[in-house]
Structure 1
């Protein structure tokens, strides 16, 4: 019999996609385009997920300065990618606007400890699928997670699709955007959290970890899993036992399983 790995999530994250996924155009309320519109958005208090700037053009100095001041990721892309978002006169500049206001991690940690509950934080490493992200946040809110941490670069856009898939949970669960997830984990560990990574690189199952103390649960991406430097910081590595022929779970399903194991231990044991 073929020796199969038994793990919760393929490569610590989502099941690999084997088929071409068509590009979906964002809803028009999820982005603004044109140099002046992008500048005004950067000057406003709106949260911006990222900027797309046409790589062949050079006249974006003011946009780039404001974006760097606000910590907004910039991607230099070919004209074709911009045109896939909108065929209108974008002038080589498109800003994707977030549907939520990002929280400050230190404030989330303080509020979690002051709540009288055992703090639970969910950290998502490079999970880029919008609907998976929305579904994860729905499970996070339902399981009492105090905050979700995502990277500034390489995370799902928090747009209308994410909000819809979350069934409105994104209105209630704080989302923190961090430039460096390793630094975020170090901060959380220094604040009294243990780190539990959901990964196939484990001999232990999700039920063997102790979630009754302040905990950060780390979930990884579909292609690359949890980054090695983050895995090195984990106090425990766990996987989900599988009984069928399919060797992986979707990351949103896997996240729900581990989150509600934490709920079970905290509330019903």
Structure 2
């Protein structure tokens, strides 16, 4: 498994034994001095290579650095439930209904890390998953978010409901505005793919469906942007209670 880009690689140094090897482009040694020093400090092998080698591995905006990493471990749904319990916080999960664009997947992980989401739940099939471009889009946040990979998110939703987790769906055609919902209780937020939204079979399992009001001519936001608005409303409501 390889990741590329400055931020994802720098963040990897914060995770014990995550990095196996770092590759630096010859022409960018001076600009990547920080990464080289971190590698030396952590006894990670560094190889100076032609930029063509890095381009072949990364197939994206690599900034002159690629790293070989150990696979990120996912957690179970039970593990995710325990995280909120151990932190003495009401549960907050994101459920991704077939997000197939790696850029969106990575950006959502970045939002989740910033907003204090306890875990992201996604389906193994027909989801972007942990591909290199998702790591790049996350700016390294993928190292710090808890991921639950399941065979079927509908089963996962039912399991969460058995633990009194309220399920919210984000849907453009919903009647209720998202800021009028109570996000202070244990909850999971379902977001769907940008093209099709949440599948009807998944939407039917949601306890409440909310929307972001739109006044422009384009009737939807990018899914990662929409997730950001919703996630930070959760954080706002919960911070208000703490204050």
Of 199-208 and 130-139, deviating more is: 199-208
What corresponds to 1:222 in structure 2?
Answer: 194
Match of 1:178 among 150, 162, 170: 150
SS of 1:157's partner is coil
What corresponds to 2:82 in structure 1?
Answer: 110
Alignment of 1:256 with 2:233, yes or no, is no
How far apart, in 1, do the equivalents of 2:84 and 2:96 lie? Answer: 18
What is the CA-CA distance between 1:201 and the residue it aligns to? Answer: 2.9
What corresponds to 1:135 in structure 2?
Answer: 107
| Structure 1 consecutive aligned stretches of length 4 or more whose deviation exceeds 4 Å | none
What corresponds to 2:163 in structure 1?
Answer: 191
**Cα deviation digits, residues 146-187 of structure 1 (max 9, x gap):** 000000101003122211211111111111111011110000
What is the CA-CA distance between 1:117 and the residue it aligns to? Answer: 1.3
Ranges in structure 2 where 5+ consecutive residues have no aligned partner: 4-56, 58-68
Note if contact 2:75-2:148 (Cα within 8 Å) is conserved in structure 1: yes
What is the CA-CA distance between 1:119 and the residue it aligns to? Answer: 1.1
What corresponds to 1:74 in structure 2?
Answer: none
Match of 2:131 among 159, 165, 177: 159
Note if contact 1:211-1:265 (Cα within 8 Å) is conserved in structure 2: yes
Note if contact 1:99-1:160 (Cα within 8 Å) is conserved in structure 2: no
SS of 2:190's partner is strand
How far apart, in 1, do the equivalents of 2:76 and 2:228 lie? Answer: 24
**Cα deviation digits, residues 19-78 of structure 1 (max 9, x gap):** xxxxxxxxx847xxxxxxxxxxxxxxxxxxxxxxxxxxxxxxxxxxxxxxxxxxxxxxxx
SS of 1:186's partner is helix
Note if contact 1:122-1:145 (Cα within 8 Å) is conserved in structure 2: yes
Of 161-170 and 172-181, deviating more is: 161-170
What corresponds to 1:211 in structure 2?
Answer: 183
Larger relative CO (CA 8 A, sep 6+): 1 or 2? Answer: 1
How many aligned residue pairs are there? 177
Alignment of 1:236 with 2:203, yes or no, is no
How far apart, in 2, do the equivalents of 1:216 and 1:173 lie? Answer: 15
RMSD: 1.9
SS of 1:217's partner is strand
Note closer, same or farther for the CA distance 1:98–1:150 as it changes in structure 2 (3 Å cut): farther
How far apart, in 1, do the equivalents of 2:173 and 2:202 lie? Answer: 13
How far apart, in 2, do the equivalents of 1:151 and 1:182 lie? Answer: 9
Note if contact 2:172-2:220 (Cα within 8 Å) is conserved in structure 1: no
